[in-house]
Amino acid sequence: MGPEQLSRSDAMEVALDVAITVLNSGGSTRMADKTFHNIVSGCGYEELSAIWRLDVATASDGGSLTVARPIGAIGVNLQRVSEAALLSDRASRGEISVSTLKSELERIRALPHPYTMLTTLAVLTAATAGFVRLADGDWSAAACASVAALAGYLVRFLLTYRNVPGVGPNLAAAIVSASLAGLALRLGLTGTAASTVIGSIIYLAPGLPLVNGFVDIISERYLVIGLERVASAALQAVLLAVALQFSAVIAI
Protein backbone atom coordinates (compact mmCIF):
# COMPACT_ATOMS: atom_id res chain seq x y z
CA MET A 1 0.00 0.00 0.00
CA GLY A 2 1.70 3.25 -1.11
CA PRO A 3 1.14 6.73 0.19
CA GLU A 4 -0.83 7.57 -2.98
CA GLN A 5 -3.73 5.47 -1.60
CA LEU A 6 -4.40 7.92 1.21
CA SER A 7 -7.66 9.83 0.89
CA ARG A 8 -7.45 13.53 0.10
CA SER A 9 -8.25 14.61 3.68
CA ASP A 10 -5.85 12.04 5.18
CA ALA A 11 -3.07 13.16 2.85
CA MET A 12 -3.63 16.77 3.89
CA GLU A 13 -3.53 15.85 7.58
CA VAL A 14 -0.38 13.73 7.36
CA ALA A 15 1.40 16.28 5.15
CA LEU A 16 0.52 19.08 7.56
CA ASP A 17 1.71 17.06 10.53
CA VAL A 18 5.12 16.41 8.94
CA ALA A 19 5.46 20.01 7.76
CA ILE A 20 4.54 21.39 11.18
CA THR A 21 7.21 19.16 12.70
CA VAL A 22 9.68 20.99 10.46
CA LEU A 23 8.30 24.39 11.41
CA ASN A 24 8.14 23.96 15.19
CA SER A 25 11.61 22.40 15.25
CA GLY A 26 13.25 25.54 13.90
CA GLY A 27 13.00 24.89 10.15
CA SER A 28 12.22 27.62 7.65
CA THR A 29 8.74 28.17 6.23
CA ARG A 30 10.05 27.37 2.77
CA MET A 31 11.27 23.97 3.94
CA ALA A 32 7.97 23.26 5.71
CA ASP A 33 6.04 24.18 2.56
CA LYS A 34 8.29 21.99 0.41
CA THR A 35 7.81 19.12 2.86
CA PHE A 36 4.03 19.52 2.63
CA HIS A 37 4.02 19.53 -1.17
CA ASN A 38 6.40 16.57 -1.39
CA ILE A 39 4.03 14.40 0.62
CA VAL A 40 0.77 15.45 -1.04
CA SER A 41 2.32 15.08 -4.50
CA GLY A 42 3.52 11.61 -3.53
CA CYS A 43 -0.09 10.85 -2.60
CA GLY A 44 -1.28 12.05 -6.01
CA TYR A 45 -2.80 15.39 -4.96
CA GLU A 46 -0.77 18.07 -6.71
CA GLU A 47 -3.47 20.73 -6.37
CA LEU A 48 -3.37 20.96 -2.56
CA SER A 49 -1.87 24.07 -0.96
CA ALA A 50 -1.07 25.33 2.53
CA ILE A 51 -1.14 28.69 4.30
CA TRP A 52 1.37 29.25 7.10
CA ARG A 53 1.13 31.33 10.27
CA LEU A 54 2.98 31.10 13.57
CA ASP A 55 -0.11 29.86 15.38
CA VAL A 56 -1.82 27.65 12.80
CA ALA A 57 -1.23 26.00 9.42
CA THR A 58 -4.14 25.47 7.03
CA ALA A 59 -4.31 23.15 4.02
CA SER A 60 -6.95 23.39 1.32
CA ASP A 61 -7.90 21.76 -1.97
CA GLY A 62 -9.22 25.04 -3.32
CA GLY A 63 -12.80 23.94 -2.70
CA SER A 64 -14.76 22.93 0.38
CA LEU A 65 -12.13 20.72 2.01
CA THR A 66 -9.92 22.50 4.55
CA VAL A 67 -7.71 21.08 7.31
CA ALA A 68 -6.09 23.19 10.04
CA ARG A 69 -3.42 22.27 12.55
CA PRO A 70 -1.98 24.32 15.46
CA ILE A 71 1.75 24.98 15.21
CA GLY A 72 2.47 24.78 18.94
CA ALA A 73 5.63 25.95 20.65
CA ILE A 74 8.56 26.58 18.30
CA GLY A 75 11.92 25.30 19.46
CA VAL A 76 15.15 24.21 17.81
CA ASN A 77 15.88 20.59 16.91
CA LEU A 78 17.50 20.55 13.50
CA GLN A 79 17.80 16.77 13.59
CA ARG A 80 14.01 16.55 13.46
CA VAL A 81 13.97 19.07 10.62
CA SER A 82 16.45 17.00 8.62
CA GLU A 83 14.64 13.70 9.26
CA ALA A 84 11.25 15.19 8.34
CA ALA A 85 12.63 16.63 5.10
CA LEU A 86 14.17 13.27 4.16
CA LEU A 87 10.87 11.54 4.95
CA SER A 88 9.02 13.90 2.61
CA ASP A 89 11.54 13.24 -0.17
CA ARG A 90 10.95 9.49 0.17
CA ALA A 91 7.19 10.03 0.16
CA SER A 92 7.37 12.14 -3.01
CA ARG A 93 9.07 9.21 -4.76
CA GLY A 94 6.48 6.73 -3.48
CA GLU A 95 9.09 4.73 -1.58
CA ILE A 96 7.18 4.27 1.70
CA SER A 97 3.81 2.83 2.69
CA VAL A 98 1.06 4.62 4.58
CA SER A 99 1.84 2.81 7.84
CA THR A 100 5.56 3.53 7.46
CA LEU A 101 4.89 7.20 6.77
CA LYS A 102 2.87 7.57 9.96
CA SER A 103 5.22 5.51 12.13
CA GLU A 104 8.22 7.44 10.83
CA LEU A 105 6.49 10.69 11.74
CA GLU A 106 5.97 9.45 15.30
CA ARG A 107 9.64 8.41 15.47
CA ILE A 108 10.78 11.82 14.28
CA ARG A 109 8.55 13.61 16.79
CA ALA A 110 10.04 11.51 19.58
CA LEU A 111 13.64 12.31 18.66
CA PRO A 112 15.35 13.90 21.68
CA HIS A 113 17.52 16.95 21.49
CA PRO A 114 20.83 15.89 19.91
CA TYR A 115 22.82 17.33 22.82
CA THR A 116 22.70 16.30 26.45
CA MET A 117 21.94 18.82 29.17
CA LEU A 118 25.57 18.69 30.36
CA THR A 119 26.84 19.46 26.85
CA THR A 120 24.36 22.31 26.47
CA LEU A 121 25.36 23.87 29.79
CA ALA A 122 29.06 23.52 28.95
CA VAL A 123 28.61 25.21 25.58
CA LEU A 124 26.46 27.93 27.16
CA THR A 125 29.17 28.62 29.73
CA ALA A 126 31.92 28.74 27.10
CA ALA A 127 29.88 30.97 24.76
CA THR A 128 28.95 33.40 27.54
CA ALA A 129 32.51 33.62 28.84
CA GLY A 130 33.82 34.06 25.29
CA PHE A 131 31.38 36.90 24.58
CA VAL A 132 32.29 38.71 27.79
CA ARG A 133 36.00 38.43 27.09
CA LEU A 134 35.53 39.68 23.51
CA ALA A 135 33.59 42.63 24.96
CA ASP A 136 36.65 43.57 27.07
CA GLY A 137 35.31 42.02 30.26
CA ASP A 138 37.73 40.50 32.76
CA TRP A 139 37.66 36.89 33.92
CA SER A 140 35.59 37.72 36.98
CA ALA A 141 32.98 39.30 34.69
CA ALA A 142 33.03 36.20 32.51
CA ALA A 143 32.50 33.96 35.55
CA CYS A 144 29.65 36.08 36.93
CA ALA A 145 27.90 36.31 33.57
CA SER A 146 28.26 32.55 33.02
CA VAL A 147 26.72 31.70 36.40
CA ALA A 148 23.86 34.13 35.75
CA ALA A 149 23.26 32.68 32.28
CA LEU A 150 23.25 29.11 33.62
CA ALA A 151 20.73 30.02 36.32
CA GLY A 152 18.41 31.72 33.84
CA TYR A 153 18.69 28.88 31.35
CA LEU A 154 17.74 26.32 34.01
CA VAL A 155 14.75 28.45 35.04
CA ARG A 156 13.58 28.59 31.43
CA PHE A 157 14.09 24.85 31.03
CA LEU A 158 12.00 24.07 34.12
CA LEU A 159 9.19 26.44 33.12
CA THR A 160 9.13 25.08 29.59
CA TYR A 161 9.08 21.53 30.94
CA ARG A 162 6.01 22.48 33.00
CA ASN A 163 4.38 23.89 29.85
CA VAL A 164 4.22 27.49 31.06
CA PRO A 165 2.67 29.32 28.08
CA GLY A 166 3.61 32.41 26.15
CA VAL A 167 6.59 34.58 26.98
CA GLY A 168 6.69 33.43 30.61
CA PRO A 169 9.76 31.15 30.41
CA ASN A 170 11.87 33.64 28.46
CA LEU A 171 10.84 36.59 30.60
CA ALA A 172 11.58 34.71 33.82
CA ALA A 173 14.94 33.53 32.49
CA ALA A 174 15.91 37.04 31.40
CA ILE A 175 14.98 38.56 34.76
CA VAL A 176 16.85 35.87 36.72
CA SER A 177 20.01 36.17 34.62
CA ALA A 178 20.06 39.97 34.52
CA SER A 179 19.24 40.26 38.23
CA LEU A 180 22.10 37.94 39.18
CA ALA A 181 24.45 39.93 36.97
CA GLY A 182 23.26 43.13 38.66
CA LEU A 183 23.78 41.53 42.07
CA ALA A 184 27.35 40.61 41.12
CA LEU A 185 28.00 44.24 40.22
CA ARG A 186 26.46 45.49 43.45
CA LEU A 187 28.61 43.11 45.52
CA GLY A 188 31.73 44.30 43.71
CA LEU A 189 32.53 40.89 42.20
CA THR A 190 33.24 42.59 38.90
CA GLY A 191 33.50 46.16 37.67
CA THR A 192 32.74 45.71 33.96
CA ALA A 193 29.01 46.32 33.96
CA ALA A 194 28.06 46.28 30.28
CA SER A 195 29.80 43.05 29.30
CA THR A 196 28.62 41.27 32.47
CA VAL A 197 24.94 42.16 32.12
CA ILE A 198 24.69 41.73 28.35
CA GLY A 199 26.71 38.53 28.49
CA SER A 200 24.34 37.07 31.07
CA ILE A 201 21.33 37.36 28.72
CA ILE A 202 22.98 36.96 25.30
CA TYR A 203 21.77 33.34 25.13
CA LEU A 204 18.21 34.70 24.83
CA ALA A 205 18.95 36.68 21.66
CA PRO A 206 16.40 35.57 19.02
CA GLY A 207 18.92 34.67 16.32
CA LEU A 208 17.28 31.82 14.38
CA PRO A 209 13.69 33.21 14.50
CA LEU A 210 14.96 36.56 13.23
CA VAL A 211 16.91 34.96 10.38
CA ASN A 212 13.93 32.80 9.38
CA GLY A 213 11.68 35.86 9.57
CA PHE A 214 13.81 37.93 7.20
CA VAL A 215 14.14 34.96 4.83
CA ASP A 216 10.35 34.63 4.77
CA ILE A 217 9.88 38.36 4.13
CA ILE A 218 12.42 38.40 1.31
CA SER A 219 10.72 35.43 -0.37
CA GLU A 220 7.44 37.47 -0.44
CA ARG A 221 5.41 34.24 -0.65
CA TYR A 222 5.60 33.89 3.13
CA LEU A 223 5.30 37.57 4.01
CA VAL A 224 2.68 37.14 6.76
CA ILE A 225 4.53 34.51 8.77
CA GLY A 226 7.78 36.39 8.14
CA LEU A 227 6.33 39.52 9.72
CA GLU A 228 5.04 37.41 12.61
CA ARG A 229 8.51 35.97 13.18
CA VAL A 230 10.13 39.41 13.17
CA ALA A 231 7.45 40.74 15.53
CA SER A 232 8.07 37.79 17.85
CA ALA A 233 11.81 38.51 17.80
CA ALA A 234 11.07 42.18 18.55
CA LEU A 235 8.97 41.12 21.54
CA GLN A 236 11.91 39.04 22.76
CA ALA A 237 14.10 42.14 22.52
CA VAL A 238 11.55 44.03 24.64
CA LEU A 239 11.72 41.28 27.27
CA LEU A 240 15.50 41.62 27.37
CA ALA A 241 15.14 45.38 27.80
CA VAL A 242 12.82 44.80 30.76
CA ALA A 243 15.36 42.42 32.27
CA LEU A 244 18.11 45.00 31.85
CA GLN A 245 16.08 47.42 33.95
CA PHE A 246 15.96 44.88 36.76
CA SER A 247 19.73 44.57 36.53
CA ALA A 248 20.20 48.34 36.63
CA VAL A 249 17.95 48.73 39.70
CA ILE A 250 19.79 46.00 41.60
CA ALA A 251 23.27 47.18 40.61
CA ILE A 252 22.73 50.80 41.67
Q: List phi, psi (to 5°) of 21.
A: -60, -40
Gap between the Cα atoms of 161 and 164, Å rounded: 8
The letter for the amino acid at 224 is: V
Predicted confidence at residue 74, as pLDDT, reads 84
| pLDDT of amino acid 2 | 47
Amino acid identity at 140: S
- Taking Cα atoms as reference points, which of 27, 90, 17 lies closest to residue 50? 17
DSSP reduced 3-state for 10: helix
Cα–Cα distances in Å, from 209 out to 24, 150, 198? 11, 22, 20
| Coil, helix or strand at residue 52 | strand
- Measured between alpha carbons, how far is 231 from 220 in angstroms, rounded to an integer? 16
Predicted pLDDT of residue 4: 47
The low-confidence residues of the chain, meaning pLDDT below 50, are 1-4
pTM above threshold 0.95: no
- Which pLDDT value is given to residue 191? 85
Question: H or E stretch including 159?
Answer: helix 139-161
DSSP letter at 107?
A: H
- pLDDT for res 5: 64
DSSP state letter for 136? T
Query: Cβ atoms within 10 A of the Cβ of 87, count?
Result: 24
Backbone angles phi, psi at 237, to 5 degrees: -65, -35
Distance of alpha carbon 205 from alpha carbon 210, whole angstroms: 9
